[in-house]
Structure 1
Amino acid sequence: MLFPKSFHFLFLTFFLVLKLSAQDKGKLMPLKNIINDIEQQHQVSFNYTEDNIVNLQLNPPKRSLSLEQKLQYLAKKTNLSFENIKNKFINIYKKDNTVQKICGYVFSGIDKKPIENANINSPNIAQVRTNSDGYFELKKEDATTFSISHVGFITKKIVTDKVDSKNCIQIILEPEITELQEIRANAILASGISKNTDGSLEIKPKKFGILPGLIEPDALQTMQQIPGVNSLDESVSSINVRGGTHDQNLFLWNGIRMFQTGHFFGLISVFNPNLAHTISIYKNGSSAFYGESVSSVVAISSTPEKAEKNSFSAGINMINADVYAKYNLSKKSSIEISARKSITDFVETPTYKEYFNKVFQNTTITDFSDKQNINYRSDKKFGFYDATLKYAQKIGLKDQIILDLITIKDNLEVFKSAVAYNINKSQNNILRQQNYGGNLSWRRNWNNFNTTKINVYNSSYELFANQESTTDQNVIQENTVNNNGINLENNHIINSKFSFNDGYQYNEIGITNLEQVSNPDFYRKVKDVLRTHALILEGKYNDTLSRIYFKVGTRINYIEKFKKYIVEPRIQFSYGISKSLNLELLGELKSQNSQQIIDLQKDYFGIEKRRWIISNNTTIPIQRSKQLSLNLFYKKNDWLLDIENFYKKVSGITTSSQGFQNQLEFVRMTGDYEVFGTEMLIQKKMNHFLTWLSYTYNHNNYLFSNYEYPSFPNNFELMHTVSWAGIYEKNNFKIALGTKWSSGRPKTSPDLSQINLSDPLLVYNKPNNTNVHIFSQVNISSTYKWETTNGIQYKLGLSILNILNRKNEISEYYRISSLTNSIEDIQTFSLQRTPNISFRVSF
């Protein structure tokens, strides 16, 4: 029974083979039809020109043959070349073609799929586009170089001498993640300052032009030119962004949180202006990777975007001298150092004298009594310095390690002696403020679409005062902060429009406050530590064609000590209504666990009287903020108009953090402040001339529900602020003239109707019931740069602050004089006319 079945099977097989053989040896078929059959059978795609296969007919190859065998068969029968690329694409060209051609395939670097309609451009040929398979070809003799471009991808340039004309090349185009360049302002306020699509302002110090009163790109001085940013006492250590206090701003230098921001107790920024490469300022809508602030974020990075050449520069002005050096140790490693020191040890310039008078007015340094039978003599010694170091090392093609170090120090020594009743007494008082920081970061590019960055950081801050008195009393005060942590950040590019970031942050902050008094003896030392974990998720969609930018993220904080979770969502939305007009919506919820308070106005000599403390979640709450802003940005024909309306509310503030010098000075309670306003900037550029006018309206109220006056104006309210500047830049010469006008800050007047002048006791009206006088100031600055034939550059700068020498009142309060037993009106004034000259050499 088995034999007939086997016989039938063999007979059937033999019959089918004969049938297939007869089919293969049947009628001639057009080559194009044969190619279509092979494409369907083997799932491949042929690329060819019609001229090469037209009118060619032949017997089709056997279907049972492999793909390679069929290509060999066709090549033998047609005298054509068949190039097989990964069993997916097959190129057909003539063997005896004397004209050399270049062919290739263009693929996306994201998903490796073919890119259709990519543009192949060369000066000598008409534009060529890729087909649906990403294929193109052109004559080699027509193009020595050509470029491949497509919307959403980085353009690639190809040199034909390096291309093998026998084989098609495979070209990968990497995605281009771009911002909305159509409406980005390349120069806002001054050259080197631009506005990003995420709402932040970016300053490039090395491209910085000039601003009135500034001859160097000081980050914190420049920041005060931005609408909505003020400093009521002209100090970079007291910057108020939309009604907030200075400590509510987050200042980062290469990922290190800085607790000291000013030299000369606030008149000069601690950040060397000749060092920073990028400064990013966020008034609202900051990234979820930024925590520990309820106001603005100022992130300073001294890491260049691309490798730079060796360089050296040195400069001097009427306050300090500095040096900067960048040296490439190898192709993959470099070192960068900077150092700056005050020159007050050697000379007291007119600038120094004006700064000194401004900083130390109404403090214990200058508040010596001249109404007693005591002959006082005082000798003051002041100095500061800062230094930074950066070491960068690339490891292979994917890894980079960067080490950043910074040290900052201000030191004041005051020697006082007095002769009273033929008895000599002397004092040696010391005030020291310093901040050290370090950050070690590792960055790895896993591929073109995934990057990981890890950094470990530490920041240590100290404020120390040793104050002696003629009554043999010695007072020591110390405030120290130790902040360290680790950050992990992953960046993922999903496609040319969408990217996703995630990360984890651990932060530990410890703050110690010490007070020690002799005669009578008193000692108190309090240390608090807070540890926080944060999980960050953030997604970004950026479509340059439809002009839509949307970034949303959230930060989930967990505070170990309080076992408390705080969720902080952030949003940035931007829509380009046209190429000239843009609408922007920003919003955020943020929190902050540390703050600065004032116990007594004469602490630390009354100069840097604020000290850092940590929230205890009861009497010192965690500060929370919510903010929303709507912005309209227009830029066309060198005109720029920027209008932003905002609302902001901060809860959990304490009276001791607000610097009250009225009936609330010794009252301890918690509350909120609420601010809304409008910020406007109009700017016009005409050839080498740039002019702008800004206006800010700021309505800011405290909310203390348990106080007899539950609502009254904020100490940091400036209801109206107007600024104007005219800037001229041509070649190497720059000059800027500008003025700033603002309504006076609030103050509290005494209620004279309830005060007995014979035995006065201060009784006040409602808090902040009136205002100090209007502030008005005119500033000018100019720089000139020239270069010698051997490449050495020189730069000379001149600035004058308050050129009209106007006496501007910046604060006013009242007290009972212990000498006269009368009410004293204490006023503090801004800088008088203050010149400054700088000179710099670089190569």
Structure 2
Amino acid sequence: MLLPKQFHFLFLFFFLVLPLSAQDKGKVMPFKKILVAIEKQHQVSFNYTEDIIAGLQCNPPKRSLSLAQKLQFLSQKTQLSFENIGNRFINIYKKENRTPLICGYVFGATDHKPIENANISLPDHTQIATDFNGYFELEQGPATLFLISHVGFITQRITTDHLDTANCLQIVMAPEITQLEEIKASAVLASGISKNTDGAFEIKPKKFGILPGLIEPDALQTMQQIPGVNSLDESVSSINVRGGTHDQNLFLWNGIRMFQTGHFFGLISVFNPNLAHTISIYKNGSSAFYGESVSSVVAISSTPETAEKNSFSAGINMINADVYAKYNLSKKSFIEISARKSITDFVETPTYKEYFNKVFQNTTITDFAQNQNVDYQSDKKFGFYDATLKYVQKIGTKDQIVLDLITIKDNLEVFQSATVYDINRSENNVLRQQNYGGNLSWKRNWNAFNTTKINIYNSAYELLGNQKTTNANQVVLQENTVNNNGLTIENNHTLTAKWSFNNGYQFNEMGITNLEQVTNPDFYRRVKDVLRTHALILEGKYNDTLSRIYLKAGVRMNYIEKFKKYSVEPRLQLGYGISKSVNVELLGELKSQNSQQIIDLQKDYFGIEKRRWIISNNTNIPIQRSKQLSLNVFYKENDWLLGMENFYKKVNGITTSSQGFQNQLEFVRTTGDYEVLGTEILIQKKINHFLTWLSYTYNKNNYHFPDYEYPSFPNNFELTHTLSWAAIYEKNNFKIALGTKWSSGRPKTSPDVSQIDLSDPVLIYNKPNNTNLHIFSQVNISSTYKWETDNGIQYKVGLSILNILNRKNEISEYYRISSLTNSIEEVETFALQRTPNVSFRISL
């Protein structure tokens, strides 16, 4: 017996195939149904007026006939004539007393697609629009003149006298190139980096030139060259934009939020530098479609803007090896894969050794808790990998589906043994960090003016530490997991040549779990929180190339289910060209963030990765909110580029546990804000193949914790002065870059020696961040050379040296009481020593 669903399916299938089979049975049927069947079978389109075929019925032609035979058959059965235009469009006329008409098809010159709603203007002010096939018709008159116009195309003037009315016109419209005369250098800082009208810095890795110390277009290393972007500990997992913490930045890879951004605990970006096609970095004035961030936005897209040929490349350096491949499955689909893995399983290079020493200094791996006199024997096994997959499928001329997958993993295993007071002790440690993500997107171009894009994504992050300590065989298990799901619907509408409007909806669900389990003594704690938010987005853009005005204004309206709270976040980007050489830019935004990273103990996860993600609870962990405004001026003339950005930024709702204190505030839990006032200056000059630039950043960054005894003091991430310089030479396939970075030392807190009893010391501090570390100074160099063989194989070699002067730069300092000597110890952490790197790459 058939199930109801099966019965319904067969019933529907029967009625679907009935009209098709009826064509061959010769039954009389409405003429319009016959035309629809022919359109589907032969992929053609009929143009006619309804009054011509109204009430008309006849026998359908056999399906086995050709298109020409069917048209001849229908012409014999009716009083109609058929004009076949290239087996794509067919015009239908009445045979008798047909008024002479002028007909035509309007196509775009670049894609040869029909242009819908093109405007036909006649001398008597009559207006006619083309249909979805780009077709139009009008009565022929003596020496008729008409204009054809459409947004984005050059208007054409057509004279119809002496035209052949037997055939339709084929009119091809050329696109109108109107570009805002923005202050945009062909290269900012390096080739492949530019400044957009919306205030974003845009990086094209495949066009990337070279920067000091970099031989690959690492997205997160490159962005640190931008004024206002720093990393106080040289880590891509600790990027500070205008005084903010790393977790306050939003990192997106093809629409997927990434919670892990660094390999090797922050020294290498997790984003494969040979994959990304476009990287957009917003310090301020980001689009209303970007939420969950109170600082910068880094949006990485690996979907190419234009079709590309098949390609393959493979490379190796002194840390990792990688492969990349793109293969076109058809004219409308392709697959793209990349994979990268550390080579530390096979060889320990000088680069690896410098990285290892830098990362693991002052951690439990190198005896964080004990006096350094203890002689630990360590066996270490460290490795990482990442892989991505992209599948793109175009469906017809209007739809496209894209699937993106990414996986990232770092794994560290350490077995340690030591003899302390004639007792053998050992540690068996495992630390794993990984991030998986997937995004499925569908995009439809409804017409030349309207587009819809829908994204469904997931990102899963895990940080797991399993440590066996030397203290009575105690085992500590720590786990931090994040599961982020979301849906984004975005609609884009072109209203006129100057105005466009975007609207959309976003749903975001974030679940975060924190687990701590200790044996001897037994302790177990597992906390899971889930937060769901909804956002409605409205955004309009005005771009007038003649008056040199660019305006983009939007608003994001958030609703948090758990707290039943609404918030409204406006965004603004305004640019005005005072002249062809001078441009003024005003950027502003209000943003919020519901998740953050905190540090419970500096020894969590072996002291290597101390931060764990948590969700706001709207009480002692409030929602973070930021407001920022910047006024910028740019000048470009004769290959000179001068830029000055002045900004004000304030972030409310921060917690002391999110700021990484290692002074009297380490165990204090209170909330407050930080406030930054700063200026960023860039001066750049290009002379033929030579490019040089100098940047300076000033910022005054202060905490405000009203419930603490010292309510105001300098921010941990304040670098009052930062100065960078680079000289780059690029000619043909040879590139070399030399540069230096200098900054005033970050704040630190000194102990109040006058109040400490040295016989039984207890740490007593001065006012938080009362002094500073020594000046940071580093000189870097890099060079690449590329050549190509006669058979099209391309080779590229690169060499870089970080800190070529081998300067010992202190990047952090704190104090502790030694359990062995019962004295105050000063613990210093230093930046990388002289670190070389060599790379080789082959591309097909």
TM-score relative to the length of structure 2: 0.82
Question: 1:522 — aligned with what?
Answer: 523
SS at match of 1:215: coil
SS at match of 2:666: coil
- The CA deviation string for residues 109-167 of structure 1, in whole angstroms up to 9 with x for no partner, is 66625499xxxxxxxxxxxxxxx99748xxxxxxxxxxx99995369999xxxx97975
The 8 Å contact of residues 120 and 149 in structure 2, kept in 1 or not, is answered as: no
1:182-221 map, 5 Å = 182-221=182-221
Q: Return the alpha-carbon distance in structure 1 between the equivalents of residues 773 and 508 of structure 2.
A: 41
Residue type of the partner of 1:194?
S
Question: 1:260 — aligned with what?
Answer: 260
Residue type of the partner of 2:461?
Y
The 8 Å contact of residues 503 and 536 in structure 1, kept in 2 or not, is answered as: yes
- Over the aligned positions, Cα root-mean-square deviation in angstroms equals 2.6
1:407-486 map, 5 Å = 407-419=407-419, 424-470=424-470, 471-486=472-487
Q: Structure 1 residues 367, 777: closer, same or farther in 2, change over 3 A?
A: same
Q: Return the alpha-carbon distance in structure 1 between the equivalents of residues 156 and 785 of structure 2.
A: 40
Matched, 1:821 2:838: no
Residue type of the partner of 2:468?
E
Q: Return the alpha-carbon distance in structure 2 between the equivalents of residues 779 and 149 of structure 1.
A: 55
Question: 1:704 — aligned with what?
Answer: 705
Residue type of the partner of 2:770?
N
The 8 Å contact of residues 502 and 537 in structure 1, kept in 2 or not, is answered as: yes
Question: 1:765 — aligned with what?
Answer: 766
- The CA deviation string for residues 338-391 of structure 1, in whole angstroms up to 9 with x for no partner, is 000000000000000000011011111111688699763211110000000000
Q: Return the alpha-carbon distance in structure 2 between the equivalents of residues 246 and 560 of structure 1.
A: 26
Q: Structure 1 residues 112, 614: closer, same or farther in 2, change over 3 A?
A: same
Q: Return the alpha-carbon distance in structure 2 between the equivalents of residues 418 and 640 of structure 1.
A: 59
Q: Return the alpha-carbon distance in structure 1 between the equivalents of residues 122 and 779 of structure 2.
A: 58
Q: Structure 1 residues 213, 370: closer, same or farther in 2, change over 3 A?
A: same
The 8 Å contact of residues 535 and 557 in structure 2, kept in 1 or not, is answered as: yes
1:201-600 map, 5 Å = 201-367=201-367, 376-419=376-419, 424-470=424-470, 471-600=472-601
Question: 2:715 — aligned with what?
Answer: 714
Question: 1:112 — aligned with what?
Answer: 119
Q: Return the alpha-carbon distance in structure 1 between the equivalents of residues 409 and 342 of structure 2.
A: 11
Q: Return the alpha-carbon distance in structure 1 between the equivalents of residues 397 and 225 of structure 2.
A: 41
State the Cα distance separating 1:635 from its structure 2 match. 0.8
Q: Return the alpha-carbon distance in structure 2 between the equivalents of residues 432 and 476 of structure 1.
A: 12
SS at match of 2:366: coil
The 8 Å contact of residues 370 and 818 in structure 2, kept in 1 or not, is answered as: no
Residue type of the partner of 1:762?
L
- The CA deviation string for residues 809-839 of structure 1, in whole angstroms up to 9 with x for no partner, is 1111111111111111111110000000000
Matched, 1:609 2:616: no
Q: How many positions carry a matched residue from both structures?
A: 717
Q: Structure 1 residues 698, 483: closer, same or farther in 2, change over 3 A?
A: same
Residue type of the partner of 2:306?
K
Q: Structure 1 residues 82, 687: closer, same or farther in 2, change over 3 A?
A: farther
Residue type of the partner of 1:331?
K
Q: Return the alpha-carbon distance in structure 1 between the equivalents of residues 815 and 176 of structure 2.
A: 61
Which region of structure 1 is more displaced relative to structure 2, 551-560 or 410-419?
410-419
SS at match of 2:606: helix
State the Cα distance separating 1:169 from its structure 2 match. 3.0
Question: 2:789 — aligned with what?
Answer: 788
Residue type of the partner of 1:84?
L
State the Cα distance separating 1:545 from its structure 2 match. 1.1
1:33-112 map, 5 Å = 84-85=101-102, 112=119
Q: Return the alpha-carbon distance in structure 2 between the equivalents of residues 822 and 763 of structure 1.
A: 13
- The CA deviation string for residues 647-694 of structure 1, in whole angstroms up to 9 with x for no partner, is 000000000000001110100000000001000101000000000000
Matched, 1:690 2:691: yes
The 8 Å contact of residues 370 and 820 in structure 2, kept in 1 or not, is answered as: no
- The CA deviation string for residues 177-196 of structure 1, in whole angstroms up to 9 with x for no partner, is 85524422221000000000
The 8 Å contact of residues 436 and 461 in structure 1, kept in 2 or not, is answered as: yes
Residue type of the partner of 2:838?
I
Matched, 1:654 2:658: no
Q: Return the alpha-carbon distance in structure 2 between the equivalents of residues 579 and 111 of structure 1.
A: 33
Q: Return the alpha-carbon distance in structure 2 between the equivalents of residues 632 and 151 of structure 1.
A: 32
The 8 Å contact of residues 110 and 495 in structure 1, kept in 2 or not, is answered as: no
State the Cα distance separating 1:587 from its structure 2 match. 0.3
- The CA deviation string for residues 61-114 of structure 1, in whole angstroms up to 9 with x for no partner, is xxxxxxxxxxxxxxxxxxxx99633699xxxxxxxxxxxxxxxxxx98666254
Residue type of the partner of 1:536?
I
State the Cα distance separating 1:485 from its structure 2 match. 0.8
The 8 Å contact of residues 218 and 272 in structure 1, kept in 2 or not, is answered as: yes
Residue type of the partner of 2:557?
I
Question: 2:728 — aligned with what?
Answer: 727
Q: Structure 1 residues 398, 152: closer, same or farther in 2, change over 3 A?
A: closer
Which region of structure 1 is more displaced relative to structure 2, 371-380 or 541-550?
371-380
Answer with 1 or 2: which has the greater Rg. 1
SS at match of 1:508: strand
Q: Return the alpha-carbon distance in structure 2 between the equivalents of residues 427 and 821 of structure 1.
A: 24
The 8 Å contact of residues 537 and 557 in structure 2, kept in 1 or not, is answered as: yes
Q: Return the alpha-carbon distance in structure 2 between the equivalents of residues 87 and 612 of structure 1.
A: 62
Residue type of the partner of 1:804?
L
Q: Return the alpha-carbon distance in structure 1 between the equivalents of residues 388 and 761 of structure 2.
A: 53
The 8 Å contact of residues 543 and 549 in structure 2, kept in 1 or not, is answered as: yes
State the Cα distance separating 1:629 from its structure 2 match. 0.3
Q: Return the alpha-carbon distance in structure 2 between the equivalents of residues 151 and 273 of structure 1.
A: 38
SS at match of 1:433: strand
Q: Structure 1 residues 812, 569: closer, same or farther in 2, change over 3 A?
A: same
1:150-169 map, 5 Å = 152-153=152-153, 169=169
The 8 Å contact of residues 539 and 554 in structure 2, kept in 1 or not, is answered as: yes
Matched, 1:626 2:627: yes
Question: 1:26 — aligned with what?
Answer: none
Identity %: 83
Structure 1 unaligned spans of 5+: 1-80, 89-106, 117-131, 137-147
Which region of structure 1 is more displaced relative to structure 2, 362-371 or 238-247?
362-371
Q: Structure 1 residues 370, 240: closer, same or farther in 2, change over 3 A?
A: closer
Q: Return the alpha-carbon distance in structure 2 between the equivalents of residues 556 and 157 of structure 1.
A: 47
The 8 Å contact of residues 104 and 170 in structure 2, kept in 1 or not, is answered as: no
TM-score relative to the length of structure 1: 0.82
Q: Structure 1 residues 399, 154: closer, same or farther in 2, change over 3 A?
A: farther
SS at match of 1:185: coil
Q: Structure 1 residues 813, 323: closer, same or farther in 2, change over 3 A?
A: same
The 8 Å contact of residues 478 and 605 in structure 2, kept in 1 or not, is answered as: yes
The 8 Å contact of residues 116 and 447 in structure 2, kept in 1 or not, is answered as: no
Residue type of the partner of 1:686?
I
Q: Return the alpha-carbon distance in structure 2 between the equivalents of residues 490 and 566 of structure 1.
A: 22
The 8 Å contact of residues 120 and 146 in structure 2, kept in 1 or not, is answered as: no
- The CA deviation string for residues 573-601 of structure 1, in whole angstroms up to 9 with x for no partner, is 00111111111000000000000000000
Q: Structure 1 residues 806, 585: closer, same or farther in 2, change over 3 A?
A: same
Q: Return the alpha-carbon distance in structure 2 between the equivalents of residues 391 and 778 of structure 1.
A: 42
